[in-house]
Amino acid sequence: MNKISIISAVVVSTLSFTSLADGCGSPLLPSWKDGSSKTAIIDFVMKTTSEGSDSFVAKEDRIAVFDNDGTLWSEKPFYFQLVFALDQIKAIAPNHPEWKNEEPFKSVLADNMQGVMESGKEGLLKLIMATHSGMTVEEYQESVDEWLKVATDKRFNKKYTELTYQPMKEMLTYLQDNGFKTYIVSGGGVDFMRVWATEAYNIPPEQIIGSALHYQYSYNDGNPTMTKDASLLTLDDKEVKPANIQYIIGKKPILAVGNSDGDHAMMQWSTSQPHSMAMIVHHTDAEREWQYDRESHVGRLDKALDDAKSRDNWHLIDMKKEWCVVY
């Protein structure tokens, strides 16, 4: 071996050792650095799945719930489903000349995001109703699928489905491999998530819970159809999350993972029992993703952040310090 080859081999060996030394690239959760969060996940799974352990939980009771926006994929600078709605508004605007003078549509067409956000919850619901209703579920999901094929995030120049967090996907797989039934419980639209989330997270459509419009069934002369109505069935956020968990799952989860105060009630509910745990994805990495918490207009983390610091079975995941990679 020549001198250059020897030097190259030493460098590669050193890099590999350094990577494994901090936990990156290890067989278990390879995108997680060794630290408190990785240890908490492994310890929790070991204790709850080991027969004879004081913390053993039967397989049928191993329920884990995950928020989606900001927990399993990015949510900045705006929720991706909102970006979809904005693009849809622009696409169908020629059929609605009245929108030129009607908020929040006027702001959307002028690319005035401040005006859109100032329209508040009522304005955002108008955008959702205009782009998510009056069509069959199949038609809506086809439009989402077509959008996802071409739409890209401006900052990272990636498709939105490429902005899912690799460490969190590894966590999901680890739980699934150990007999956990994993659910998404998100404020995002359930029909929106079911288009792509099953492939991304290996979570079947029936285990995806989210916000939804009312549905209208029609036999339609021998052609049964399910149409999305222009009225809200459920806004799956805050205290509605544990209510929907009880209504749909019927069991209290032993693990809840979120990133914002919108997940606070879900985490409180899940950890109000023995052998349970909550985790919060804390966005601390401004370079590789985003940095935000208490003052953010998207994914605000305030009360839940304080709670995490005072509860032994609540863990903050420091994205910057504990993730080897983000995407």
Q: What is the pLDDT of residues 137-190, one digit of tens each?
A: 999 999 999 999 999 999 999 999 999 999 999 999 999 999 999 999 999 999
How many distinct structural domains can be found in the chain?
2
Tell me: do 200 and 53 sit in the same domain. yes
Rounded-to-integer distance, Cα 65 and Cα 252, Å: 10
Q: End of a domain among 102, 117, 150?
A: 150
Contact present, 5 and 138 (Cβ < 8 Å): no
Between 221 and 62, where is the model more confident?
A: 62
The predicted structure's pLDDT at residue 220: 85
* Helices 120-132 + 80-92 axis angle, to 10: 60
pLDDT averaged over every residue in the chain: 94
User: pLDDT tens across 40-52, in order?
Assistant: 999 999 999 999 9
Q: What is the CATH number of the domain that holds 304?
A: 3.40.50.1000
Does residue 9 fall inside a structural domain?
no
Inform me whether the pLDDT recorded for 4 exceeds 70.
no
Assign 323 a pLDDT band (cuts: 50, 70, 90). Answer: very high
Inform me whether the pLDDT recorded for 16 exceeds 70.
no
- At residue 307, the 3 state secondary structure works out as helix
| Nearest by Cα to 192 from 247, 246, 133 | 133
Rounded-to-integer distance, Cα 258 and Cα 186, Å: 9
Contact present, 278 and 313 (Cβ < 8 Å): yes
**Domain span including residue 180:** 25-79+157-322
Q: Average pLDDT for residues 208-226, to the nearest whole number?
A: 95
The predicted structure's pLDDT at residue 172: 98
Tell me: do 243 and 311 sit in the same domain. yes
Assign 121 a pLDDT band (cuts: 50, 70, 90). Answer: confident
Tell me: do 235 and 116 sit in the same domain. no
Rounded-to-integer distance, Cα 83 and Cα 298, Å: 13
The predicted structure's pLDDT at residue 1: 54
Assign 292 a pLDDT band (cuts: 50, 70, 90). Answer: very high
The predicted structure's pLDDT at residue 288: 98
Q: Which residues contact 227 (CB under 8 A, 6 or more apart)?
A: 134, 135, 136, 137, 215, 216, 217, 218
Q: End of a domain among 91, 121, 150?
A: 150
Does residue 98 fall inside a structural domain?
yes
Inform me whether the pLDDT recorded for 271 exceeds 60.
yes
Tell me: do 223 and 238 sit in the same domain. yes
Tell me: do 165 and 250 sit in the same domain. yes
* Helices 137-150 + 80-92 axis angle, to 10: 100
| Nearest by Cα to 192 from 268, 326, 87, 114 | 87
The predicted structure's pLDDT at residue 43: 98
Tell me: do 276 and 264 sit in the same domain. yes
Contact present, 188 and 214 (Cβ < 8 Å): no
Structure tokens at 162: 């490429």
The predicted structure's pLDDT at residue 120: 87
Tell me: do 166 and 225 sit in the same domain. yes
The predicted structure's pLDDT at residue 21: 73
User: pLDDT tens across 87-120, in order?
Assistant: 999 999 999 999 999 999 999 999 999 999 999 8
Instruction: Please give the single-letter amino acid code of residue 43.
Output: D
b/e sequence 194-219, b meaning 16+ C-beta within 10 Å? bbbbbebbebeeebbbbbbbeeeeee
Measured in residues, the chain has a length of: 327
User: pLDDT tens across 26-72, in order?
Assistant: 999 999 999 999 999 999 999 999 999 999 999 999 999 999 999 99
Does residue 251 fall inside a structural domain?
yes
* Helices 166-177 + 36-49 axis angle, to 10: 20
User: pLDDT tens across 294-313, in order?
Assistant: 999 999 999 999 999 999 99
Can you give the three-state secondary structure of 174-208, one letter per residue? HHHHCCCEEEEEEEEEHHHHCCCHHHHHCCCHHHE
The predicted structure's pLDDT at residue 327: 98
Tell me: do 73 and 87 sit in the same domain. no
Phi, psi for residue 183 in degrees, rounded to 5: -125, 150
The predicted structure's pLDDT at residue 128: 93
Rounded-to-integer distance, Cα 167 and Cα 224, Å: 42
Does residue 317 fall inside a structural domain?
yes
